Amino acid sequence: MSSTSSTWTMESIKDHPLMPARVVVAYDATKDRTEIEFSHTIRSIRSRGDILHGGDTLMFLGVLSKVPHPMGYQMQARPESFLGITHVRLVEEEVSNKVDFCVRLLQKSAEEYDSEGVDIEVKITAGTPTRKVVLQEVITSNATWVILDRHLRRDLRFYLKQIPCKVAIIEDNLSMVVVRPSTISDTDKVEPNLFISLAKNVPLLAAPNEENNEQFIMSCKSHSASMGSLENSDRIKSNLLPALKYNPQDHNISSHHELGPNSEDKSGRHAKGGSKPPISPQVIEKLRRKPSGQRSNDTPVLCIGCGMKTKPDIKDSMKFSFSEIQLATDDFSKDNLLGEGGYGHVYKGRLKDGQFIAAKLRKEASTQGFAEFLSEIYVLSFARHKNIVMLLGYCCKENLNILVYEYICNKSLEWHLFDNEGDVLEWHRRHSIAMGTAKGLHFLHEECRGSPIVHCDMRPSNILLTHDFVPMLGDFGLAKRRTDEGNMHKRILGTLGYLAPEYAENGIVSVKTDVYSFGIILIQLMSGRKVVDSNRLDQQHSLRQWAIPLIQRLALHELVDPRIQDFYDTYELYLMVRAAYLCVQTNPEMRPTMGEVLRLLEGESDHLNQLADQFVAHFSK
């Protein structure tokens, strides 16, 4: 047989859907994970039907780039840190803790997919930089697919260039998107690096006492050397030599996990007669069936990151008793105080049925009185949208007016943009927040029952976020319904810097008022700047005055928040700049509607020629 024919045959066998394969889900192990997040990730992978099959192994590969030092600081997990015995033990201990934690989170999923013949494995590798650790582990494990977690997407270009197998990414909502459905061969040679790792099978819940294979290895490309072990050190030492020269007939079905990825042949699959026996047609038919009997919960998950839920069947206007809210908030304890605004204080609470709430208690001296209280109840009784905070009910007792919302778990956009100095908001999240906010406003203006509804107080502090960074519009105390163009208001309420000129000067309110505010928010998402900052050295106190000249000069890179450096998508930046420029026009007639803004952000501007011409005209003179 010719070499060409032989190569074709091996590749055909390797990609055959009935051959056992290894699918790697790579994630940043320094980030917190939850059982719900892992479960949704697995279901997203399984739902495609062409990635994970019966007999395959799904490996969750966590990369630990930092480990806590006893002195209280974070130590980089660099190879030179592994030379000291003390540092090695610190790294081993942290890796072991991470493995055990992830195994516990994945046990229910392992039980769920055991009937389909899918094994789940956890491997934590300590090393840096993260992308090189992922690359080396994926190559040495001969993975057929690598699924990159959302925290790793910033290095997507590197992975697409260097990783030879098929590639997919996990979005912020934990759905999966395939970015390269085929393998490549033109990759750079990978130089071996020194990493400490621990791999462990995820046992079934029904057999908690079953012996679980685990092994510490210090890996350098395809070679392994023992760096110690946990409970089964003697057995592991005896398996190190077989790991370097694997004889499949000497081991049972589960032993390939003991030996690590090097027990596989170059195709990334187990040889005939090895740890994975041939699959009979009857078993194949069973494995191809749709998952059945999966556990379900009637209450949808609001935040995948922390598992927060909101019951959807709560009545549009449900009246709470004062004692219910008092009990839920621990008598409005200071420990439960979330914040304070012009309306009053907001407290976190938990109802008897487990529902978390945010209770907004109106100040007696508040300028936003009973009219705003009724306005918010009315507006939110019509507004049921994934990007709008849900009103669960209200309470009236004498001079106390309380609004009860679903609790949104991850603070506000303002906090993440300006106050969270330890974790800079990444570009893909900023873009996702812009899209979600635009969808919420579009719903209020054009789609909800009782529309158009004008928010009138759009600003980052009124955009709340889940741990998945899904934006939720809140605080509708100033909202106006069924406003006509030219509708005038004597009381000018809102936040300076976000107010449209026609509203700030003449009290004119329309849907274009919100469009202007959204344009300012877009500039803030891109630049990371506050709307008014008297401390800036460039003497540009107004955000709009600073941004418009840069846009007109097409100096788009100067608009980008320097904290995210070059980790942004140029095309997405262009779309956001174009939308923002049109939104902040002083003449409201020149601003797009939120439906048009949404299409501009999505890049669907072919039918918006008039708007596009407004933007391009400044740069074609």
Between 121 and 210, the higher pLDDT residue: 121
Q: Does 383 lie in the same domain as 512?
A: no
What's the domain range around 384?
Answer: 322-406
Look at the alpha carbons of 310, 422, 337, 479 in this order and tell me if their dihedral is positive or negative. negative
pLDDT band at 511 (very low <50, low <70, confident <90, very high): very high
- Supply the pLDDT for residue 336: 93
Residue 316 lies in a domain: no
Q: What is the pLDDT of residues 578-597, one digit of tens each?
A: 999 999 999 999 999 999 99
Residue the block writes with tokens 């592991």: 236
Read off the DSSP letter of residue 477: T
Q: Which of 457, 468, 514, 561 is catalytic?
A: 457
Report how far residue 361's alpha carbon sits from residue 329's, in angstroms, rounded to the nearest whole number: 11
Q: Does 540 lie in the same domain as 446?
A: yes
Instruction: Please state the rounded mean pLDDT for residues 412-426.
Output: 91
Q: Does 379 lie in the same domain as 250?
A: no
Q: Does 328 lie in the same domain as 264?
A: no
Q: For the chain, what is the domain count?
A: 3
- Tell me whether residue 330 is exposed, middle or buried, using C-beta atoms within 10 angstroms of its C-beta: 0 to 12, 13 to 18, 19 or more: middle
Residue 218 lies in a domain: yes
- Supply the pLDDT for residue 613: 58
Domain boundary among 406, 423, 448: 406
pLDDT above 50 (res 207) = no
Average the pLDDT over each of 218-232, 238-252, 577-591, 606-620 and give the range with the smallest value.
238-252
Residue 360 is assigned to a ligand binding site: yes
Report how far residue 178's alpha carbon sits from residue 169's, in angstroms, rounded to the nearest whole number: 6
Residue 583: name the closest of 438, 454, 479 by CA: 438
Q: Which residues contact 29 (CB under 8 A, 6 or more apart)?
A: 62, 63, 64, 98, 124
Q: Does 417 lie in the same domain as 383?
A: no
- Supply the pLDDT for residue 603: 85
Query: Is 100 an annotated catalytic residue?
Result: no
- Supply the pLDDT for residue 305: 65
Domain boundary among 406, 436, 463: 406
Q: What is the pLDDT of residues 256-300, one digit of tens each?
A: 333 333 434 433 444 333 444 444 444 334 333 334 333 344 556
Quickly count: other Cβ atoms within 10 Å of residue 50's Cβ.
10
Q: Does 417 lie in the same domain as 350?
A: no
pLDDT above 90 (res 313) = no
Residue 437: name the closest of 340, 517, 343, 372 by CA: 517
Between 399 and 334, the higher pLDDT residue: 334
Residue 581 lies in a domain: yes
Read off the DSSP letter of residue 336: G
Between 2 and 137, the higher pLDDT residue: 137
Put simply, whether the predicted model's pTM sits higher than 0.75 gets the answer: no
- Supply the pLDDT for residue 543: 92
Residue 297 lies in a domain: no
Report how far residue 411's alpha carbon sits from residue 341's, in angstroms, rounded to the nearest whole number: 14
- Going by DSSP bridges, is the β-strand pair 471-473/463-465 parallel, antiparallel, or unpaired? antiparallel
- Supply the pLDDT for residue 535: 65
pLDDT band at 334 (very low <50, low <70, confident <90, very high): very high
CATH of the domain at 494: 1.10.510.10
Q: Does 358 lie in the same domain as 250?
A: no
* Cα–Cα distance list, 229 to 15, 95, 214 (Å): 35, 12, 8
Instruction: Please state the rounded mean pLDDT for residues 47-55.
Output: 82
- Supply the pLDDT for residue 612: 57
Q: Does 442 lie in the same domain as 388?
A: no
Q: Does 225 lie in the same domain as 139?
A: yes
Residue 359 lies in a domain: yes
CATH of the domain at 394: 3.30.200.20
Report how far residue 160's alpha carbon sits from residue 264's, in angstroms, rounded to the nearest whole number: 24
Q: Does 420 lie in the same domain as 402?
A: no
- Going by DSSP bridges, is the β-strand pair 337-340/223-226 parallel, antiparallel, or unpaired? unpaired
Q: Which residues contact 93 (CB under 8 A, 6 or more apart)?
A: none
Report how far residue 455's alpha carbon sits from residue 600's, in angstroms, rounded to the nearest whole number: 21
Domain boundary among 406, 427, 446: 406
In the chain, what percentage of residues exceed pLDDT 90?
A: 31
CATH of the domain at 161: 3.40.50.620
Q: Does 341 lie in the same domain as 422?
A: no
- Supply the pLDDT for residue 434: 96
Report how far residue 585's alpha carbon sits from residue 590's, in angstroms, rounded to the nearest whole number: 6
Q: Nearest 5 degrees, angle CA 202-CA 204-CA 208?
A: 100
Collapsing DSSP to helix, strand or coil, 91 comes out as: helix
Residue 376: name the closest of 394, 359, 363, 364 by CA: 394
Q: What is the pLDDT of residues 450-470, one digit of tens each?
A: 668 888 889 999 999 998 899
Residue 306 lies in a domain: no
Report how far residue 379's alpha carbon sits from residue 396's, in angstroms, rounded to the nearest whole number: 18
Q: What is the pLDDT of residues 522-568, one digit of tens each?
A: 999 999 999 877 666 655 668 999 999 999 998 999 999 999 988 89
Residue 452: name the closest of 586, 594, 316 by CA: 594
Residue 268 lies in a domain: yes
Report how far residue 150's alpha carbon sits from residue 147's, in angstroms, rounded to the nearest whole number: 9
- CB distance 130 to 28 below 8 Å: yes
Q: Does 194 lie in the same domain as 93?
A: yes
Q: What is the pLDDT of residues 142-192, one digit of tens each?
A: 899 999 998 888 889 899 999 999 999 988 777 888 999 989 887 777 776
Residue 303 lies in a domain: no
What distance lies between CA 490 and its chain's CA centroid?
Answer: 43
Q: What is the pLDDT of residues 74-92, one digit of tens each?
A: 777 765 554 455 567 778 8
Q: Which two tokens stand for residue 372?
A: 């705003």
Collapsing DSSP to helix, strand or coil, 538 comes out as: coil
pLDDT above 50 (res 381) = yes
